[in-house]
Structure 1
Amino acid sequence: MAPRFVRSTLLAGLVALTPACGEKEVRPGLILLSASCAGTQPLAGVTHLRFRVTAPGLDTPRERVSTVNWTWARDVPTVPPGADRVLEVRAYVGTPDQGGQLVSLGRSLPFSVFEGEDEPNPQVRVLLRRLGEFVPVNRVSDPSSCSLPMEARAAHTATTLPDGRVLIVGGYAPRADGTRPVSATTEVFDPREGTFIPGRDVGARAFHTASLLPDGKVLLTGGAESFAPVKLQPTAQLLDPMTGARSDLTPKVARYQHAAAVDAAGHVLLVGGRAADGSGVFTAEAFDSASGRFVDVVGEVRRVDTTLTVRDDGKTFLMAGGADTTGPDPKVLALGFNGTDLERLANVPPRLRVPRVGAAVAVLGRPDESPRPLLMGGFDGVDPSQGAQSVGASEVLENETTVRDGPTLMPRSNPCVVSLPDGRVMVLGGRGTGIGTTYAVPWVELITPHAGSQPTVLGLPLMPQPRVWHTCSALPDGSVLVVGGVDDSTGETRPNTEALVMMPPPRD
């Protein structure tokens, strides 16, 4: 029998507890949601819970352990005043400090505790998720119901907004007959409610880029407006997800399958990509968010299928991987944008150990861990039908002059990679290679940085279906949302219609 749905709500009229020593601490009200619409129920087999409060300024977490039959007054820790408090609930089979197994985890959104006896207790909500299990998205208002995206998508974008919502844009609908109609729609995933909400149309586009600007707006650039024949989307869109406002813009060059990155000053650099006839687009371009317009960039960047990211200094762009007109280019270019000129910052650029195309890049490490971009996957040549193989080696882009070896991963190109709030990187799906062919793969790996030593890799359970051209987004509770993609692993093209969510094991 599935465990009963546990929901405990503290009435708003309860007063803050003030210890005898005079410290003004409160016990937050907790709504614990412990049902799932599919998969293993979060409390299946659970005997004990650990309630854990973390916050800036707390040297050690506030913790209390109880049986599964917990009570608010006895088991939820008190919290000192301040911002960015997080209440975490960990569920165990067996006693935690005596070898019990951690099986489920949930975290609240950050909340604030205000000083003053008249201030009400903060009310927080924690949704327990089974560790390492891919399950459909749970509708919070009705835990027995799963939420589905509005439509099947591949080669779309998913942008995590400052408030934790995820903006999903465009893409194409994979069909068994090989046609790929392109979508103009948007939708927003709200993790607080577990729902997908329709948004405004933004013009049909797939294989485009979506760039989150410092002010919270999102810039959409490029993309294919249709396939067979390929027609490119000539416009860009500047979206304000908070107000729904939209501005139409016109880039200098139409392109798709390009790379984009944003520096700390709000400059969006666009490089590479393809024209409608499949040839490479070597004209670099930039968007200046301060003026709200596109500006020319001096010089060419002769790469397609490349990656672009920004160093932890907030101003240095690093471009790695990709091919020029002759094949994979091993050089890692460090570029600085000063308004109208794109300057190369190293006279002798470092070289990748394994030149590659179709790679992915994500930042590994928390802000206090000297975070560095990690380049993963790709093909070691331009054309898999001509013998190019998928790459398992990863490489750390240390700085403008140095590249070092990273951990070995499962070999695939075009993986979806996401940086988690705790500094780890998750790698999901992508495209493997057979004899003269490629196919979507279900592999999932979790990479953990370590000071002074090589990162470690943990293989996680496979996704229920292989996926490529999907998106993966970090949610505020530390889980990962996977949307869309294509499964062609059996020779038949099938869309991935479900949105999945997975909670990785905690880092500590």
Structure 2
Amino acid sequence: MRVASESFMEEGTGHTSWGGRITAQSPPRRLLPAVWTPPGRGGGLVALRPMAPRFVRSTLLAAALMALTPACGENEVRPSLDLLSDSCAGTQPLAGVTHLRFRVTGPGLDTPRERVSTVAWTEADVPAVPSGTARVLEVRAYVGAPDQGGQLVSLGRSVPFDVTEGQAPKVRMFLRRLGEFVPVNLASAPRTCSLPVATRAAHTATTLPDGRVFITGGYEPRADGTRPVTGTTEVFNPADGTFSPGPDVGARAFHTASLLPDGRVFLAGGAASFAPVTLQPSSLLLDPNTGARNDLPLKAARYQHAAAVNTEGQVLLVSGRAADGSTVDTVEGYDSAKGRLVAYPAPFSFVDAALTVERGGRIFQVVGGASGLGAVRDVAAFTFADGEILTLAAGAYLRGPRVGAAVALLGRPDEDPLPLVMGGFDGLDPAKGARPVGASEFLNGVVQVEDGPALMPRGNLCAVTLPDGRVMALGGRGTGIGTTYAQPWVELITPHAGAQPTVLGLTLMPQPRVWHTCSALPDGSVLVVGGVDDSTGEIRANSEALVVMPPPRD
């Protein structure tokens, strides 16, 4: 007899529910496990009457007793949960699952509110919680009882929500298989994949204050080697899994997009075409919600440059290439509080440098890059003061040169987070012997550098800080016999107080990617959009948008 692990039969009916959209907004019908018996033996899909093992009956009895007691308090309410438990590809989130753990955390809750049920859960299995702000509901799915060594295989997490006395909040979440890259799916039809509006590489993806992701520009990688540039934009809404067209921003690729404190996005530079190379000479201040825009001329047209925004809402632009391939040596920025562009008076001619903000939130740090003499170890520091851009005399030096590195902040705000420098090449041209760097290092203040964990060696990787302070590094370029090619590697870096971070290698991406974007979503998952796969010697576009849920930190 073979158990149909994803099938359930509603008691008292002849209908089967296939693990899709399960909601507890109204009392659900009881679901019983279904099995398939061979034809000729009364075969077919039949519902088994409850013959639960003792530990399951004990768990359910304990849950029932808890539900009947007033321990929750008169002011506590139970969230109404809409659990989207299907995916449009890959392993179904409830495949093999036997138990669910419901877990609520948030400010003022000294310990998580938890309940454990079988996979046939009801609304009574969701913990009641007191009034308060920023509550987060998690659903963890196990193969086997969690208190008896069951394996955690899937996770769903809500966005933070507020609980008002006497009002039950409505919560929706996607349940996702841990560590598995799958296409984005629609909330309205979870078995249907949701595709981006356009195929893109060298674009930008900016996470807006409400959790949506604003995707702009880029080029379309074609098999014949042509790279038409687009000015289209789109907005990904993680709440419903949709991609919606946004305002046109003018053709631009290898540009930068910086989120300002007021929710507007500052787009700068980029290539308008590649045959021949022409550049966007201006920056664009855009409100993604209204489409309101303001064009501001740049002092220097550039692409493949770096940008960062500090806590004061000031944006710095460094590095980059001109249309003829030469290095742009102009440093300039935008001061959103004053509403004007500012230029640094002296030349600064490093190309393919990374840019970050020192942990204090105000000082910019330009990391590595290359000058006319080759790759450099410099970490130059800049700041805005009295309406000008100034450089600090003191600066740090990397352990070794890096060209095309990535930087992301590792650690939660309460963990004294530090910028972590990852990847890059130790020279400007891999065809002339430059090798990818596997070591990482921390920027501890303006002048101090500390060793970080060893990672897979590659340059031009995408790195993103998760809401829980961990960093995920995805894709990039590796080398082989004098050439570079896209990589599928994915690593999850976890900080530890007083010790080196640990690195967990996750499942490889289905296709290698470079010139893609990676964005942290409010539920702790990561959205990967676009990029190029040239690992086989042919140019292939990454047309699907993927999402991956990392294992929980605790």
Map 1:306-345; keep pairs closer than 5 Å. Answer: 306-345=353-392
Query: How far, CA to CA, are the matches of 2:317 and 2:541 in structure 1?
Result: 29
Aligned to 1:9: 24
| CA apart distance, 1:11 | 4.5
Of 453, 461, 468, which aligns to 2:514? 468
1:374 aligns with 2:420: yes
Query: How far, CA to CA, are the matches of 2:175 and 2:450 in structure 1?
Result: 38
| CA apart distance, 1:298 | 2.9
Query: How far, CA to CA, are the matches of 2:536 and 2:174 in structure 1?
Result: 36
CA contact (8 A) 1:257 1:305 kept: yes
User: What is the Cα-based RMSD across aligned positions, in Å?
Assistant: 1.6
Q: Partner amino acid for 1:420?
A: L
| CA apart distance, 1:346 | 4.4
1:264 aligns with 2:314: no
Aligned to 1:37: 88
| CA apart distance, 1:144 | 1.6
> Helix, strand or coil: the match of 1:461?
coil
1:294 aligns with 2:328: no
Map 1:424-439; keep pairs closer than 5 Å. Answer: 424-439=470-485
Aligned to 2:131: 81
Q: Partner amino acid for 1:390?
A: P
Aligned to 2:444: 398
Q: Partner amino acid for 2:408?
A: A
Change (3 A) 1:22 1:496: closer
Structure 2 gap ranges (5+):
8-17, 28-66
Aligned to 1:94: 144
| CA apart distance, 1:401 | 1.1
Change (3 A) 1:17 1:319: farther
> Helix, strand or coil: the match of 1:455?
strand
| CA apart distance, 1:339 | 4.1
1:352 aligns with 2:398: yes
CA contact (8 A) 2:264 2:286 kept: yes
Change (3 A) 1:256 1:20: closer
Query: How far, CA to CA, are the matches of 1:201 and 1:335 in structure 2?
Result: 32
1:409 aligns with 2:455: yes
| CA apart distance, 1:97 | 1.4
Higher deviation after alignment, 383-392 or 332-341: 332-341
**Partner deviation per Cα, 1:129-162 (whole Å, 9 max, x = no partner):** 0001000001110112101111110000001111
| CA apart distance, 1:22 | 5.2
| CA apart distance, 1:341 | 3.1
Aligned to 1:279: 326
Query: How far, CA to CA, are the matches of 1:21 and 1:203 in structure 2?
Result: 56
Query: How far, CA to CA, are the matches of 1:22 and 1:37 in structure 2?
Result: 40
Aligned to 1:27: 78
Of 162, 169, 172, which aligns to 1:112? 162
> Helix, strand or coil: the match of 1:300?
coil
1:129 aligns with 2:176: yes
Aligned to 2:505: 459
| CA apart distance, 1:86 | 0.7
Aligned to 1:51: 102
CA contact (8 A) 1:296 1:340 kept: no
> Helix, strand or coil: the match of 1:298?
coil
Q: Partner amino acid for 1:34?
A: S
Aligned to 1:154: 201
Query: How far, CA to CA, are the matches of 2:266 and 2:132 in structure 1?
Result: 34
> Helix, strand or coil: the match of 1:318?
strand
Q: Partner amino acid for 2:197?
A: M
> Helix, strand or coil: the match of 1:374?
strand
Q: Partner amino acid for 2:107?
A: P
1:60 aligns with 2:111: yes
**Partner deviation per Cα, 1:45-80 (whole Å, 9 max, x = no partner):** 00000000010121111111111111112x111111
* Number of aligned positions between the proteins: 500
Change (3 A) 1:17 1:113: farther
CA contact (8 A) 1:346 1:401 kept: no
CA contact (8 A) 2:105 2:137 kept: yes
Query: How far, CA to CA, are the matches of 1:507 and 1:66 in structure 2?
Result: 22
Of 384, 387, 390, which aligns to 2:433? 387
CA contact (8 A) 2:21 2:190 kept: no
Higher deviation after alignment, 97-106 or 22-31: 22-31
Give the number of the structure whose alpha-carbon radius of gyration is greater. Answer: 2
1:496 aligns with 2:547: no
| CA apart distance, 1:297 | 2.1
| CA apart distance, 1:239 | 1.2
Change (3 A) 1:8 1:291: same
Query: How far, CA to CA, are the matches of 1:186 and 1:507 in structure 2?
Result: 34
> Helix, strand or coil: the match of 1:138?
coil
Aligned to 1:418: 464
CA contact (8 A) 2:342 2:389 kept: no
CA contact (8 A) 2:358 2:446 kept: no
Q: Partner amino acid for 1:69?
A: A
Percent identical residues: 71
| CA apart distance, 1:21 | 8.1
> Helix, strand or coil: the match of 1:132?
coil
Structure 1 gap ranges (5+):
none
Query: How far, CA to CA, are the matches of 1:221 and 1:18 in structure 2?
Result: 59
Aligned to 1:70: 121
Query: How far, CA to CA, are the matches of 1:309 and 1:57 in structure 2?
Result: 34
Query: How far, CA to CA, are the matches of 2:21 and 2:144 in structure 1?
Result: 19
> Helix, strand or coil: the match of 2:22?
coil
| CA apart distance, 1:270 | 0.6
> Helix, strand or coil: the match of 2:407?
strand
Query: How far, CA to CA, are the matches of 1:501 and 1:55 in structure 2?
Result: 25
CA contact (8 A) 1:150 1:187 kept: yes
**Partner deviation per Cα, 1:163-204 (whole Å, 9 max, x = no partner):** 010000000000111110001100000111101000111000
> Helix, strand or coil: the match of 2:183?
strand
| CA apart distance, 1:18 | 10
1:254 aligns with 2:305: no
| CA apart distance, 1:302 | 2.1
